[in-house]
Chain A
Amino acid sequence: MASFLQYLVYGLQLGSVYALLALGYTMVYGIVGMINTAHGDFLMIGALGTYFIAKLFDSVSIDGTYPMLAVGCIILIAMVMTGGIAVGVEAIAYRPLRNKPRMIALITAVGVSMFLTNFPRALPFIGPNPRPFPTLFTPKTFTVLGASITSTQIIMIILAAVTMLALDRLVAKTKMGAQMRAVSMDKDAASLMGINIDKVISITFFIGGALAAVSGICYASVYPQVEVYMGSWLGNMSFVSAVLGGIGDIRGAMLGGFILGIAQIFATAINSTFGYAVGFIILIVILLVKPAGIMGKVTIEKV
């Protein structure tokens, strides 16, 4: 029982990383209709950026721990920076291809991903070596029914849940959300209604990038190592979770992220390689049973 709970905690922890990243994937897919394979690299940028921003805040740290305010600043700067990079990527690489076939945008995204990975790697002050991630949150360990859970894990899980709710409300209730939904339904009609499509898409990318930064910080806080390659497989897995939940659907992405995280941890407990494959096996089964994902709506193709 205790080990079951322990695995569940680890599963939720990994799941919240996937979920936060999957939110960005799913929003971009829902609004622009492209698979942004570079999204995982936004996570890496966020985590790596945090590492350097935390270095700047070194003077306020006491014995390697930062005061609450500084942590808030670090996270905020990292979010804004990553969001800005995401907006820049969209404006430079994806916007000109908006009316081209989707596969073209996908190939460009592969190129962007390659660039985002290799550019920091080539920079002399970053390089390919892994670096220890600074301790932003000092973990306190609690024991619940024999399973230990740290305050970092609790913060992560709550953060993921709150973000999901906030985003869900944003899309459902605000004017911005209504614009987003309109653009996702029909770009041309939305444009005719006076919606600035470029702005809506930029904001979407900004939110996606910022959330990727948060998930990068979460991931690096529990697996405290940052390197330029960390984004690729996390990106793949969070993409799988977005599809699992029904791509384009915010709640689905969240659900998919947690399902995948928990399944992966339990499967890894059996066999480490199987842990990697289980996500894809679940994905294929779900897609064959319910092709639009768990929460996705089936669209009927009209001639």
Chain B
Amino acid sequence: MKTTNAKTMHPLLRKIGPLLGCIVFYIVIMLLRRADIINGYYMQVMLFAGVNVLMTASLNLVNGFTGQFCIGHAGFMSLGAYGAAVITTMVFKSNSIPEAAQIPVFLLGLLCGGIVAAIVGILIGIPSLKLKGDYLAIVTLAFGEIVRALLRLIQPIGGARGMIGIPNYANFFWIMFFVVLTLWLLRNLIYSPYGRAFIAIRDNEIAADAMGINTTKYKIMSFCIAAFIAGVAGGLYAHVLSFIQPDSFGFTKSADYLVYLYAGGSGSLTGSVVGAVLLTILPEVLRFLATWRLVLYAIILIAVMLYRSEGLIGGKEVPFLRIKRSSLYEKPWVGRKKNDMSAE
């Protein structure tokens, strides 16, 4: 970080600017909510958009940055949702705990949901990452469906009927908190040596292997982190909707996240945010079309893929999700000469 050219912002501003922006955004939304310009329905859509951003960003880590094909991501989400909901509704009954303990219980639930998903992510990752490409995709699809079928069989958590009466702890603050935290962590992860390894595996797995990267380890790590985030997102989802059932986490849901990811542009966190937010809002905006809305949604999706197949954002990043190049290329492990920057 020794060179700063004229274009970049003041370092301090650059560091805290995005955070300030988030706080301002939060306050503005809250004021609009208080003035009832944003009604409960808009708020609900925004909460789901936040959950979808988390899911898409975590899927991006696996599909976009590590180059693996996970098409059963809703499976991790359902594990997280059930894990968190069991903690907040069964272990600590929501009406029997004091007000002050609600938030810690909620966070504990999210953590447990994330950990359950991450452990399963490792378990599914170790054997299946021997498989490549399409076959890995199929195993993750099968995994998602198996999770769904198993959840339907477990009667104490409601079986096929699902769980009801989950306290809706997940308000706008928590959703936004987790979205910002996750994006920040993912950004730092992607520009860390680990992230470099992920990207190397994506670009050419054999070459990455030859350069001494333990590809299996990094692939499992990527799976595990993505599963953890998906689990947390699932926990948030459960506490937004206060009702979950196994069938809402089927292949359709996984396909939704794939659509958000690739329509937004894979390999770019900005793309995940834009894709998830736009495509969550789009069906709601089209609601006046009644039964035709999904037809139009499908046409828009196909058109985006045909005419802009790299996604809406297409691999670009907004400045605060990017790390300054100078600091990146000074790191010894990158091992690139300064004048080789044109390759990027």
Most buried by B among A119, A277, A301: A277
Query: Does B171 sit within 8 A of A, measured CB to CB?
Result: no
For the complex formed, measure the closest distance between the CB of B158 and the CB atoms of chain A, giving whole angstroms: 13
Query: Does A287 sit within 8 A of B, measured CB to CB?
Result: yes
Q: Are B305 and A104 in contact (CB under 8 A)?
A: yes
Choose from B135, B263, B292, B297 the contact partner of A107 (Cβ within 8 Å).
B263
Q: Are A97 and B309 in contact (CB under 8 A)?
A: yes
Q: Are B306 and A287 in contact (CB under 8 A)?
A: no
- The residue of chain A having its C-beta at the shortest distance from the C-beta of B149 within the complex is A277
Q: B244-265, CB under 8 A of A: which get 1 and which 0?
A: 0000000110010011001100
Q: Are B149 and A280 in contact (CB under 8 A)?
A: yes
For the complex formed, measure the closest distance between the CB of B225 and the CB atoms of chain A, giving whole angstroms: 20
Query: Does B27 sit within 8 A of A, measured CB to CB?
Result: no
Query: Does A181 sit within 8 A of B, measured CB to CB?
Result: no
For the complex formed, measure the closest distance between the CB of B74 and the CB atoms of chain A, giving whole angstroms: 13
Q: How far is the CA of A254 from the CA of B251 in the complex (A)?
A: 24
Choose from A107, A119, A271 the contact partner of B259 (Cβ within 8 Å).
A107
Q: Are A97 and B306 in contact (CB under 8 A)?
A: yes
Q: How far is the CA of A211 from the CA of B131 in the complex (A)?
A: 30
- The residue of chain B having its C-beta at the shortest distance from the C-beta of A108 within the complex is B305
Choose from A118, A274, A280 the contact partner of B295 (Cβ within 8 Å).
A118
Query: Does A273 sit within 8 A of B, measured CB to CB?
Result: yes
Q: Are B206 and A301 in contact (CB under 8 A)?
A: yes
Q: Are A118 and B149 in contact (CB under 8 A)?
A: no
Choose from B262, B295, B305, B309 the contact partner of A115 (Cβ within 8 Å).
B295
Q: Inside 8 A of B306's CB, which chain A residues have their CB?
A: 93, 96-97, 108
Most buried by A among B135, B143, B150, B302: B302
Q: Are A280 and B146 in contact (CB under 8 A)?
A: yes
Q: Inside 8 A of A288's CB, which chain B residues have their CB?
A: 127-128, 130
Most buried by B among A96, A107, A119, A273: A107
Query: Does B29 sit within 8 A of A, measured CB to CB?
Result: no
Q: Are B259 and A287 in contact (CB under 8 A)?
A: no
Q: Inside 8 A of A103's CB, which chain B residues have their CB?
A: 63, 69, 258, 262, 266
Instruction: Give residues 136-154 of B contacting A (CB, 8 Å).
Output: 137-139, 141-143, 145-146, 149-150, 152-153
Query: Does B294 sit within 8 A of A, measured CB to CB?
Result: yes
Q: Are B305 and A284 in contact (CB under 8 A)?
A: no
Query: Does B291 sit within 8 A of A, measured CB to CB?
Result: yes
Instruction: Give residues 20-46 of A contacting B (CB, 8 Å).
Output: 35, 37
Query: Does B181 sit within 8 A of A, measured CB to CB?
Result: no
Choose from B138, B149, B295, B305 the contact partner of A273 (Cβ within 8 Å).
B149
Q: Are A107 and B153 in contact (CB under 8 A)?
A: no
Q: Are A104 and B128 in contact (CB under 8 A)?
A: no
For the complex formed, measure the closest distance between the CB of A246 and the CB atoms of chain B, giving whole angstroms: 11
Instruction: Give residues 223-251 of A contacting B (CB, 8 Å).
Output: 232, 236, 239-240, 243, 247
Choose from A93, A122, A280 the contact partner of B291 (Cβ within 8 Å).
A122
Number of A-B contacts (CB under 8 A): 119
Q: Are B305 and A119 in contact (CB under 8 A)?
A: no
Most buried by A among B131, B134, B150: B134
Q: Are A287 and B138 in contact (CB under 8 A)?
A: yes
Q: Are B153 and A273 in contact (CB under 8 A)?
A: yes
Q: How far is the CA of A286 from the CA of B116 in the complex (A)?
A: 26
Q: How far is the CA of A132 from the CA of B71 in the complex (A)?
A: 34
Q: Inside 8 A of A271's CB, which chain B residues have their CB?
A: 153
Q: Are B153 and A287 in contact (CB under 8 A)?
A: no
- The residue of chain A having its C-beta at the shortest distance from the C-beta of B72 within the complex is A280
Query: Does B45 sit within 8 A of A, measured CB to CB?
Result: no
- The residue of chain A having its C-beta at the shortest distance from the C-beta of B207 within the complex is A303
Q: Inside 8 A of A115's CB, which chain B residues have their CB?
A: 295, 298-299, 302
Q: Are B302 and A112 in contact (CB under 8 A)?
A: yes
Q: Inside 8 A of A281's CB, which chain B residues have their CB?
A: 142, 146
- The residue of chain A having its C-beta at the shortest distance from the C-beta of B297 within the complex is A114
Q: How far is the CA of A106 from the CA of B143 in the complex (A)?
A: 19
Choose from A110, A236, A287 the contact partner of B139 (Cβ within 8 Å).
A287
Q: Are A108 and B302 in contact (CB under 8 A)?
A: yes
Q: Inside 8 A of A122's CB, which chain B residues have their CB?
A: 291-292, 294-295
Query: Does A52 sit within 8 A of B, measured CB to CB?
Result: no
For the complex formed, measure the closest distance between the CB of B48 and the CB atoms of chain A, giving whole angstroms: 19
Q: Inside 8 A of A247's CB, which chain B residues have their CB?
A: 134
Q: How far is the CA of A103 from the CA of B292 in the complex (A)?
A: 26
Q: A248-284, CB under 8 A of B: which get 1 and which 0?
A: 0000000000000000000000010110110011011
Q: Are B138 and A243 in contact (CB under 8 A)?
A: yes
Query: Does A291 sit within 8 A of B, measured CB to CB?
Result: yes
Q: Inside 8 A of A274's CB, which chain B residues have their CB?
A: 149, 153
Q: Inside 8 A of A97's CB, which chain B residues have their CB?
A: 305-306, 309
Q: Are B143 and A284 in contact (CB under 8 A)?
A: yes
- The residue of chain B having its C-beta at the shortest distance from the C-beta of A275 within the complex is B149
Q: How far is the CA of A137 from the CA of B131 in the complex (A)?
A: 45
Q: Inside 8 A of B291's CB, which chain A residues have their CB?
A: 118, 121-122, 128
- The residue of chain B having its C-beta at the shortest distance from the C-beta of A244 within the complex is B138
Q: Are B149 and A291 in contact (CB under 8 A)?
A: no
With A104-B305, A232-B252 already in contact, 5 other A-B pairs whose C-beta atoms are closer than 8 Å? A97-B305, A240-B138, A276-B149, A277-B145, A280-B142
What would be 15 A-B contacts, judged by CB atoms less than 8 Å apart?
Answer: A37-B255, A93-B302, A103-B63, A103-B258, A107-B305, A115-B298, A122-B294, A128-B291, A273-B153, A277-B150, A283-B138, A284-B142, A287-B139, A288-B130, A301-B206
The 3 closest A-B pairs by CB, nearest first: A277-B149, A115-B298, A111-B301
Which A residues form the contact surface with B (CB < 8 A)?
A: 35, 37, 93, 96-97, 100, 102-104, 106-108, 110-112, 114-115, 117-119, 121-122, 128, 232, 236, 239-240, 243, 247, 271, 273-274, 276-277, 280-281, 283-284, 287-288, 291-292, 301, 303
